[in-house]
Structure 1
Amino acid sequence: MDTRFPFVDWFRNASPYINAHRGRTFVILIEGEAMASGHGEQLIQDLALLHTLGVRLVVAFGIRPQVQAALNAAGVEPARVDGRWVADSAVMTHVEQVASHQRLWLEARLSLGLPSSPLHGVELSVVSGNLVTAKPLGVREGVDFDHSGEVRRVRATAIKELLAQGSLVLLPPLGFSSTGEVFDLDAAEIAQHAAVALKADKLILLGDSEGLADEQGTLLRQLTPAEAEPRLAAAAPGSELARHLSAAASAARQGVARTHLLCWRDHDALLGELFTRDGVGTMITEHRYEQLRPATLNDVGGLLELLEPLERRGMLVARSRERLEHEIDDYLVIERDGMVIGCAALHVFVDTTVGELACVAVHASYQGGERGERLVEAIERRARQRGLSELFVLTTHTAHWFVERGFKSASLEELPTLKRETYNHARKSKVLVKILG
């Protein structure tokens, strides 16, 4: 159905994600190039929006282009090793000045509350401070890196307390030592350590690229750290790609469930990644050992084992091995470490734009982790890709669950002729229908 206000449909579709993100902790890196190119205002508005939706935000920011401009103006040419400058006293003076200026600018923009501004009515407390302790890189391969450092520790307890008070936490690319020294740090490394220390739900890295692409230039939606490793090895030392891939892969390996590579040039990247079904960038996650994929004949044994308890309880219609083998292309499965723990099928009816969502099942030991939702969403995507406009499901036990996911009660007469003629009246299954937008 057409609407005069397209954003209303988007808002409705985004509502499950709004609810899911509320109270979650996101660590977001904004590279200095985004601010230098004038994209900072839009990102700040998006951060304020996330804050109003209940997301707990920790924002790390880079300053490389601004520092480079200051160094050029002062006629200072720093020594560089593997893409990183040596922060001697002359360089460090400009690093501290630029970091302070950028932090103050961010705090000022996040405080903007004029009636004509997008942040009108948003009371946002922004806090920064000595929240990252550092240690010097020291002498490496004969080069003394002076005040170039690396993260020693992120003060997670202090940051959590600030987040609990409703503050947005800013982390400049500086660290402080127990001896009172200040060190120049890589903003991506700070973001990675903060995400791990806080056990953040997401690490979001906003860079110049929209994500990773395959050989044909197609955007890769998801990679494991192991799959990202060859790209990291091929990246130029010190490049943004190298820094972001290293941070994302390390965070994923250390327990951050999802890390996202997004492009700050894309006006919609941040909100599009968080509040749409398919997202817009590349996600790196360790959880590929549990993956949702099309079923193959090798999965038939696992499907039989998964479905048998549900068939015995009368929740599903019994399916023979022969039937599963014949219909295997209709199925999607969730595989966890070689075991089929979930499945769903899409049966398409010839000469119609209607499909049947069938055989939605999740192993009893793995229920409660939104796997059923993932299966239904994946079937809906497959249905849309095949040009279907409507899905129906027959259920005896879980009608409310499907209703909560957008299905509505329907009559037997609304089913395709073939399905209506083969309907098992003894089971008295409820008919539910969902129109695909």
Structure 2
Amino acid sequence: MSAVFNFTFVPWFRSVAPYIHKFRNQTFVIGLTGEAIAAGKLQSIAQDLALIQAMGVKIVLVHGFRPQVNEQLAAKGHEARYSHGIRITDSVALDCAQEAAGQLRYEIEAAFSQGLPNTPMAGATVRVISGNFLTARPVGIMDGVDFQHSGVVRKVDVGGIQRTLDMGALVLLSPFGFSPTGEAFNLAMEEVATSVAIALRADKLIFLTEVPGIRMQPGEPKGDDNPIDTELPLAAAQKLMATLPTAQQPTDTGFYLQHCIKACQAGVERSHILPFAVDGSLLLEVYVHDGIGTMVIDEKLEELREATIDDVGGILQLIEPFEKDGTLVKRDRTEIERDIQTYTIIEHDGVIFGCAALYPYPEARTAEMAAVTVSPQSQGTGDGEKLLKRIEQRARAAGLESIFVLTTRTMHWFIKRGFVPTEPDWLPEARKRKYNWDRKSQVLVKKLV
């Protein structure tokens, strides 16, 4: 059992490490719905947030309280009223909101204060600090509806929040703001989280919600059985939003999407919609390549480009497992540094997920495509085809007539893409001298003209 655990844990932990490095000192704003707390998910979410903070991420947590306020209203025989997707906050609803906020803040602070041995919180010290960081103004009257004590964010105390984060504390915000005259306004959690993320220039805005994400739209290619669109470029999100009716309920497709779009338009590069029903959804979204919910981005995170000297470490980390199992020939750091200009890489969110090198033999009008590697995490997503296409483009630009590969394990992949098996004697003289007859690699050639 121990050996099996080690076999699975070590590669997994190594695959997570690049994200740990990348997100250290970044700022995440988390919008936690009151429904998640009502569903009993607070303890596990607090544990995951404590773990993320322990890895160097600065966290602002904004909690909602929609079901809690409605419960208080029902207990007082008062009806919850909404218009335009916004709560109408009369004096009774304001009292209920203040009571619910106080109770929830107490529960959240308690959740972050756990420290029992043999739990994820053992040894954790999470200092939770709340404050009057938000200035608000009234919604006012819209289409003849007086929203009374409902408000919108007017100003965020960026300096105060930033100083608190820099002290190592987690900032907890309730959906309340205050006017300069001291009047309290009930705010929407989604609007608070979005406004704070924009003001802080946060690296991520994450909503933990009742919905699993944005479902694939008709006509979109589905790479697997996941019906959720895990990566939605801003332009596509805007196009989708334009086709949707006005969002009134949290389960409406556009309810959280509109805030993700607003954040991305204002400079928050990544906004996420995650299901709180999935245990560990925060960790799965942040530290796993494809995530679990929907990420709205203001540009495609995947980049296909030629490698630079700064990519040597990432290339070594990518190819090492394939060298160990004999799929690739061993290459040391010095060799890769020397030949770095021959490499093309696929980078996703700062992590290298694929590479290939092009070694030209101009005298024979051909070139070797070598060190072809795609991370197991992104195999089947078309990254191999993208690398092959770029290598072919580079070879044609150099005036070459063909490319060839030497492989012992993946000949069928290349044959399906137009390569033809041939004998080692076909190789250019300079490459033939380096051919390892003991390895017995299959030689495959693809004509480019």
TM-score (norm 1): 0.70
Which of 218, 222, 242 aligns to 2:254? It is 242
State the alpha-carbon separation in 2 of the partners of residues 225 and 270 from structure 1. Answer: 21
Retained in 2: the 8 A contact 1:360–1:375? no
Retained in 2: the 8 A contact 1:63–1:98? yes
| Corresponding position of 1:400 | none
Retained in 1: the 8 A contact 2:73–2:93? yes
Which of 329, 341, 344 aligns to 1:361? It is 344
| Corresponding position of 1:262 | 274
State the alpha-carbon separation in 2 of the partners of residues 12 and 122 from structure 1. Answer: 23
Retained in 2: the 8 A contact 1:83–1:238? yes
Retained in 2: the 8 A contact 1:127–1:167? yes
| Corresponding position of 2:380 | 385
Report the alpha carbon displacement of residue 8 of structure 1 after superposing the two structures with TM: 3.1
| Corresponding position of 2:298 | 286
| Corresponding position of 1:335 | none
| Corresponding position of 1:405 | none
| Corresponding position of 2:180 | 178
Pairing 1:227–2:226 present:
no
**What SS class does the counterpart of residue 193 from structure 2 fall into?**
helix
Query: Equivalences for 1:82-101 in 2 at 5 Å?
Result: 82-101=84-103
Report the alpha carbon displacement of residue 380 of structure 1 after superposing the two structures with TM: 3.0
The amino acid of 2:44's aligned partner reads Q
Report the alpha carbon displacement of residue 179 of structure 1 after superposing the two structures with TM: 1.0
Pairing 1:165–2:167 present:
yes
State the alpha-carbon separation in 2 of the partners of residues 231 and 7 from structure 1. Answer: 39
Retained in 1: the 8 A contact 2:302–2:349? no
Retained in 2: the 8 A contact 1:60–1:187? yes
| Corresponding position of 2:152 | 150
Report the alpha carbon displacement of residue 361 of structure 1 after superposing the two structures with TM: 3.5
| Corresponding position of 1:111 | 113
Retained in 2: the 8 A contact 1:361–1:372? no
Retained in 2: the 8 A contact 1:354–1:388? no
| Corresponding position of 1:11 | 13
Which of 127, 137, 140 aligns to 1:138? It is 140
Report sequence identity in percent: 33
State the alpha-carbon separation in 1 of the partners of residues 433 and 261 from structure 2. Answer: 50
Shift in CA distance, 4/254, structure 1 to aligned 2, threshold 3 Å: same
| Corresponding position of 2:334 | none
Shift in CA distance, 121/195, structure 1 to aligned 2, threshold 3 Å: same
Shift in CA distance, 181/374, structure 1 to aligned 2, threshold 3 Å: farther
| Corresponding position of 1:218 | 227
**What SS class does the counterpart of residue 179 from structure 1 fall into?**
coil
Retained in 1: the 8 A contact 2:36–2:42? yes
State the alpha-carbon separation in 1 of the partners of residues 115 and 178 from structure 2. Answer: 32
State the alpha-carbon separation in 2 of the partners of residues 420 and 386 from structure 1. Answer: 32
Pairing 1:190–2:192 present:
yes
Report the alpha carbon displacement of residue 270 of structure 1 after superposing the two structures with TM: 0.8
State the alpha-carbon separation in 1 of the partners of residues 83 and 104 from structure 2. Answer: 25
TM-score (norm 2): 0.69
State the alpha-carbon separation in 2 of the partners of residues 79 and 413 from structure 1. Answer: 67
State the alpha-carbon separation in 2 of the partners of residues 427 and 201 from structure 1. Answer: 51
Shift in CA distance, 176/424, structure 1 to aligned 2, threshold 3 Å: farther
Report the alpha carbon displacement of residue 354 of structure 1 after superposing the two structures with TM: 5.8
The count of aligned residue pairs is: 349
Retained in 2: the 8 A contact 1:139–1:145? yes
Retained in 2: the 8 A contact 1:44–1:109? yes
Shift in CA distance, 254/284, structure 1 to aligned 2, threshold 3 Å: same
**What SS class does the counterpart of residue 385 from structure 1 fall into?**
coil
The amino acid of 1:258's aligned partner reads R
| Corresponding position of 1:126 | 128
The amino acid of 2:249's aligned partner reads S
Shift in CA distance, 198/375, structure 1 to aligned 2, threshold 3 Å: farther
State the alpha-carbon separation in 2 of the partners of residues 137 and 69 from structure 1. Answer: 24
Retained in 2: the 8 A contact 1:207–1:261? yes
State the alpha-carbon separation in 1 of the partners of residues 142 and 407 from structure 2. Answer: 76
Shift in CA distance, 371/242, structure 1 to aligned 2, threshold 3 Å: closer
State the alpha-carbon separation in 2 of the partners of residues 276 and 258 from structure 1. Answer: 15
**What SS class does the counterpart of residue 286 from structure 2 fall into?**
helix
State the alpha-carbon separation in 1 of the partners of residues 71 and 100 from structure 2. Answer: 10
**What SS class does the counterpart of residue 4 from structure 2 fall into?**
coil
The amino acid of 1:16's aligned partner reads P
| Corresponding position of 2:48 | 46
Query: Equivalences for 1:315-394 in 2 at 5 Å?
Result: 360-361=343-344, 373=352, 375-376=354-355, 379-380=374-375, 384-385=379-380
Report the alpha carbon displacement of residue 215 of structure 1 after superposing the two structures with TM: 3.7
Q: Which has the larger radius of gyration?
A: 2
Shift in CA distance, 420/27, structure 1 to aligned 2, threshold 3 Å: farther
- What are structure 1's unaligned runs of at least 5 residues? 294-305, 311-352, 394-411, 432-437
| Corresponding position of 1:70 | 72
The amino acid of 2:292's aligned partner reads V
The amino acid of 2:128's aligned partner reads V
Retained in 1: the 8 A contact 2:347–2:353? no
| Corresponding position of 1:348 | none
**What SS class does the counterpart of residue 115 from structure 1 fall into?**
coil
Shift in CA distance, 155/384, structure 1 to aligned 2, threshold 3 Å: same
Shift in CA distance, 414/101, structure 1 to aligned 2, threshold 3 Å: same
| Corresponding position of 1:81 | 83
- What are structure 2's unaligned runs of at least 5 residues? 219-225, 309-325, 330-340, 357-372, 389-405, 412-420, 437-449
Retained in 1: the 8 A contact 2:101–2:174? yes
State the alpha-carbon separation in 1 of the partners of residues 423 and 56 from structure 2. Answer: 45
**What SS class does the counterpart of residue 117 from structure 2 fall into?**
coil
RMSD across aligned positions (CA):
3.8
Retained in 1: the 8 A contact 2:114–2:121? yes
State the alpha-carbon separation in 2 of the partners of residues 17 and 382 from structure 1. Answer: 14
Shift in CA distance, 423/131, structure 1 to aligned 2, threshold 3 Å: farther
Retained in 1: the 8 A contact 2:347–2:354? no
